[in-house]
């Protein structure tokens, strides 16, 4: 039975996350304190007490999700044998940490910088994202290709599960044209509460600065395969993982394709590690005849 660990992405955060770990588990508390020191502010206070609006800010959300996922990874290391890893968007950093490619300190610093840069890019070049429900991938891609021209951008950003795709683009232009997807057969088109056009060409300025930081770090070859966002394929080579992590910021997240490739490669056990259960839901909507579980709260780990 081959087991894949899936690491949560943005949108899985919630006020109160990690509080149970901090109260009870010494190892978790040490990592939480370390993250606060590395960041130079109390991420733990934002996780524990909110407010929700602050926790939703990309610059805080991303390190919060990474920290939660890293702690779950560490505390399940002796209980859950992983054969491969994958992470949704920012979750890919936790996947790389889990596979021994980057250290905890390196990951915290990179994720924090990524969140800051994406937040700034969204302020400099206003963008937004819409969930499009009930549309075939190829139809949506064709519509996006027809709408994108000059500096006006509308692109697929997340292929989350069959019939659930997120599009990303220039804020006013995407809002003005979002109705086209409904006209062409989408069941629902809904704007998401985000601060920018993530996984689109509008993130190029953030990508260039993030690349500088990533290229200063020596990545190690992965101890187990990492199924990457940009091509949905397993990778262990350190330089390729570095390149794909940089490309990820402006490329769509091929999550549906990752799940299908995992099933085709013989993975039967899908375990989400991190806050919430979003990836468990996406797996249920995409695959049949696989085992799906997750670790969010400390009690989930203690029950194993």
DSSP 128-179: EEEEEES--HHHHHHHHHHH-BTTB-EEEEEEEETTEEEEEEEHHHHHHHTH
In a domain, residue 285? The reply is yes
Which CATH number covers residue 27? Answer: 3.40.366.10
Q: How many residues does this entry show for the chain?
A: 304
Domain count, the chain: 2
| 199 counts as catalytic | yes
| Range list of H helices, the chain | 19-24, 26-39, 43-49, 52-55, 58-76, 91-98, 104-124, 137-147, 171-177, 179-183, 204-215, 238-247, 255-264, 278-286, 298-302
Catalytic residue among 161, 178, 195, 199: 199
Residues 20 and 62 occupy one common structural domain: yes
Residue 226 three-state SS: strand
Return per-residue pLDDT of the chain as tens, 304 residues: 899 999 999 999 999 999 999 999 999 999 999 999 999 999 999 999 999 999 999 999 999 999 999 999 999 999 999 999 999 999 999 999 999 999 999 999 999 999 999 999 999 999 999 999 999 999 999 999 999 988 899 999 999 999 999 999 999 999 999 999 999 999 999 999 888 999 999 999 999 999 999 999 999 999 999 999 999 999 999 999 999 999 999 999 999 999 999 999 999 999 999 999 999 999 999 999 999 999 999 999 998 8
In a domain, residue 196? The reply is no
Q: What is the pTM of this model?
A: 0.97
| 89 counts as catalytic | yes
Angle at 5 between CA 4 and CA 11, to 5 degrees: 130
Other CB atoms within 10 Å distance of the CB of residue 187: 11
Catalytic residue among 8, 44, 69, 89: 89
Residues 9 and 141 occupy one common structural domain: no
Helix (H) or strand (E) holding 294: strand 291-295
Residues 42 and 185 occupy one common structural domain: no
Q: Which domain holds residue 284?
A: 2-122+201-302
Among the candidates 137, 166, 191, a domain finishes at 191
Among the candidates 167, 191, 215, a domain finishes at 191
Alpha-carbon torsion 237, 238, 243, 248, what sign?
Answer: positive
Burial 108-147 (b: 16+ CB within 10 A, else e): bbbbbbbbbbbbbbbeebebbbbbbeebeeeebbebbeeb
DSSP 253: B
Residues 31 and 102 occupy one common structural domain: yes
Which CATH number covers residue 177? Answer: 3.30.70.250
Angle at 281 between CA 295 and CA 93, to 5 degrees: 55
């Amino acid at each position: 039975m081959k087991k894949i660990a899936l690491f949560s992405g943005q949108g899985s955060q919630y006020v109160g996350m990690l509080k149970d770990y901090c109260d009870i588990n010494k190892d978790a508390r040490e990592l939480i304190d370390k993250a606060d020191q590395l960041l130079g502010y109390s991420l733990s206070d934002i996780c524990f007490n909110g407010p929700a609006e602050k926790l939703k800010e990309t610059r805080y959300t991303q390190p919060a999700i990474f920290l939660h996922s890293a702690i779950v990874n560490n505390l399940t290391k002796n209980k859950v044998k992983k054969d491969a890893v994958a992470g949704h968007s920012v979750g890919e950093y936790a996947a790389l940490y889990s596979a021994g490619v980057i250290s905890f300190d390196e990951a915290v610093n990179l994720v924090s910088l990524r969140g800051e840069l994406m937040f700034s890019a969204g302020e400099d070049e206003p963008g937004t994202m819409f969930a499009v429900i009930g549309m075939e991938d190829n139809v949506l891609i064709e519509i996006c290709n027809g709408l994108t021209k000059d500096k006006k951008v509308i692109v697929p950003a997340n292929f989350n599960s069959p019939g659930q795709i997120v599009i990303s683009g220039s804020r006013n232009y995407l809002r003005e044209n979002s109705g086209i997807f409904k006209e062409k057969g989408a069941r629902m088109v809904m704007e998401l509460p985000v601060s920018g056009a993530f996984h689109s060409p509008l993130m190029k300025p953030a990508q260039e600065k993030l690349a500088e930081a990533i290229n200063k770090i020596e990545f190690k070859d992965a101890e187990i395969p990492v199924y990457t966002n940009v091509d949905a394929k397993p990778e262990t080579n350190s330089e390729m993982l570095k390149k794909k992590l940089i490309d990820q910021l402006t490329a769509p997240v091929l999550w549906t394709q990752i799940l299908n490739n995992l099933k085709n490669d013989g993975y039967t056990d899908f375990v989400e590690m991190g806050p919430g259960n979003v990836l468990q839901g996406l797996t249920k909507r995409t695959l049949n005849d696989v085992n799906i579980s997750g670790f969010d709260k400390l009690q989930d780990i203690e029950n194993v």
